[in-house]
Amino acid sequence: DTGVSQNPRHKITKRGQNVTFRCDPISEHNRLYWYRQTLGQGPEFLTYFQNEAQLEKSRLLSDRFSAERPKGSFSTLEIQRTEQGDSAMYLCASSLFGKRPTGELFFGEGSRLTVL
Amino acid sequence: DQQVKQNSPSLSVQEGRISILNCDYTNSMFDYFLWYKKYPAEGPTFLISISSIKDKNEDGRFTVFLNKSAKHLSLHIVPSQPGDSAVYFCAARTEYGNKLVFGAGTILRVKS
């Protein structure tokens, strides 16, 4: 059983460039989440998918952010026209909805974005 | 608005003693509460949870207590070990079970 995999682990980019992160969830998990974590804060919810459907988006997710989960497997998170305020750790998590009543999420190791 | 708060940014404890990490919440509709542990350069990993209808859950050295009237929960680690040194996040599951809301975390340092 492989865990949640995220790529790249670290991305350094210049302001105004576009970046894309990929998340491969645990294979049988039907829910996939994106969270963002900045220094000294806990993970903040961005969006989640159930299979291929994006069911909820946080108001933190500006129109420069887009997430997809084609075919209900891996997901991508794209940030267009990056700003320095986008610098953060982007965490992906997955779960098998309905299987575990606690709502436990399994997290990947994160993709750290640094915008210069 | 911060629905889950961890007011202690850090805690230092001697090896073998008890560590108590605290968490307060504001939304009475949360139905599960979870604790996650995070080491540097790793994602958070699940530690222990408690249903809102319980007041205590124990798993080995880890016990979580829930006081619904005070909207407060705590994680007790006994005995504390140096390997427990990490950031601990309190999280709460929203009604309908759609997502987890996290606190800001508490850095626990266990000194040997």
Give the model confidence (pLDDT) of B72-90 as tens digits.
999 999 999 999 999 999 9
Question: Is A107 within 8 Å of B103 when comparing Cβ atoms?
Answer: no
B105·A109 Cβ contact <8 A? no
Of residues A102 and A104, the one with the higher pLDDT is: A104
Q: Which of A44, A103, A109 sits opposite B32 (nearest CB)?
A: A103
3-state secondary structure of B26: coil
In 3D space, the residue among A4, A113, A32, A19 whose CA is nearest the CA of residue A66 turns out to be: A19
A43 and B44 in contact by Cβ < 8 A? yes
Write out pLDDT tens, residues B35-57: 999 999 899 999 999 999 999 99
Question: Is A55–B99 a contact, with Cβ atoms under 8 angstroms apart?
Answer: no
Cβ-based burial of A67 (10 A; exposed 0-12, middle 13-18, buried ≥19): buried
Q: What would the two tokens of residue B5 be?
A: 């708060």
Distance from CA of A102 to the nearest CA of B (A): 6
Q: What six digits make up the tokens of B45?
A: 């990993």
Chain B residue nearest residue A50, CA to CA = B98
Residue B17 has pLDDT above 60, yes or no: yes
* Average pLDDT rounded to a whole number, residues A52-64: 92
Distances (CA, A) of B85 to A17, A97, B64, B82: 37, 31, 18, 6
Residues B108 and B19: beta-carbon distance below 8 Å: yes
Among partner residues A45, A102, A104, which is closest to B99 by beta-carbon distance?
A45
Tens-place pLDDT, residues A65-87:
999 999 889 999 999 999 999 99
Distance from C-alpha of A5 to C-alpha of A23, rounded to nearest angstrom: 6
CA distance B50 to chain A (A): 8
pLDDT at A108 over 80: yes
Predicted confidence (pLDDT) at residue A4 exceeds the cutoff of 80 = yes
Q: Are B57 and B74 in contact (CB under 8 A)?
A: no
| Nearest CA-CA partner of A3 in A94, A86, A74, A70 | A94
Instruction: Of A35, A47, A48, A49, give the one whose Cα is nearest residue A88.
Output: A35
Q: A1 pLDDT exceeds 60? A: no
B73/A contact by beta carbon, under 8 A: no
Residues in B closer than 8 angstroms to A35, CB to CB, are 102
